[in-house]
Amino acid sequence: MVESAKQAGFSGSDVEFLYFDNKQSNQYDGYSGINKAIRIARGKYLIFCHQDILFKFDSRAILDQRIEELEQLDPNWAVAGNAGKSKFGQVKIRISDVNYSDLHVGPLPSEVMTLDENFLVINRQQNIACSPVLSGFHIYGTDLCQNANALGLKNYAIDFHLYHKSPGRVDQTYYDAQNAFMQLQYHRKQSQFIWAMCSSFFVSSSRVLLFICNRYRVLRWARTVNKRRTRV
């Protein structure tokens, strides 16, 4: 992978390679690895990728063009990749792997909700990270994209063609990571009253609850109940 990257133009004084050695034990996983790389990398952009990809087709010059396209299209982009799905579940992909040759689906660049982890380009100018409470080697691309969305940033699938030696594997560890992510999202979206220093308000994913619970009388009642609980 490293040799193919260098041959594709990822070399010189403005490129660095960072490694996570898990041969003896898993010191880092997808989540902690990305967060560590974001902290220690010096480049403006960080490529976080699998070790089983080969830069057989597109070069660094092509990636530079794709990034420039994104900068012009949407300065608020956070993560880009070669495979993802839109908020409507539409596949956007540009890749070759053991099952497909020269696969190109959807117009690119295209905004997506999630990105596959085989190849991620992270815009380090944006303040993003994976959720530190999650762990494992699956769904971390989804988590990173969702965290970016929560900050008002966007993610894109781009036209960058490389070869991936694996079609991906879905096993029990994948479903464990998926369930952990689902639980995290459930807790994040729980309805609750917020007691800010200068105001009180209610947050929820339900528009009905937002309308009802942000009325003055309801907020006053909630404060009264909260004070009684505190006394107890």
The model carries a pTM of 0.87
pLDDT level of residue 199 (50, 70, 90 thresholds): confident
pLDDT digits (tens, 9 = 90+) for 160-192: 999 999 887 788 999 999 999 989 988 888 888
CB-CB neighbours of 85 under 10 Å: 18
pLDDT at residue 231, rounded to an integer: 60
Q: Which amino acid is at 223?
A: R
Instruction: Give residues with Cβ within 8 angstroms of 188, minimum separation 6.
Output: none
Report how far apart, in Å, the C-alpha atoms of 106 and of each of 65, 102, 153, 159 are. 19, 13, 21, 10
CA distance 78 to 121: 8
pLDDT level of residue 114 (50, 70, 90 thresholds): very high
Over the chain, what is the mean pLDDT?
92
pLDDT level of residue 23 (50, 70, 90 thresholds): confident
pLDDT at residue 21, rounded to an integer: 83
Residue among 51, 121, 52 nearest 84 (CA): 121
CA distance 52 to 123: 22
Phi and psi, residue 219, nearest 5°: -65, -40
pLDDT level of residue 194 (50, 70, 90 thresholds): confident
Per-residue burial over 163-199, b if 16 or more Cβ lie within 10 Å, else e, is bbeeeeeeeeeeeebeebbeeeeeeeeeeebeeeeee
pLDDT digits (tens, 9 = 90+) for 64-100: 999 999 999 999 999 999 999 999 999 999 999 999 9
46 is written with which tokens?
A: 């960080």
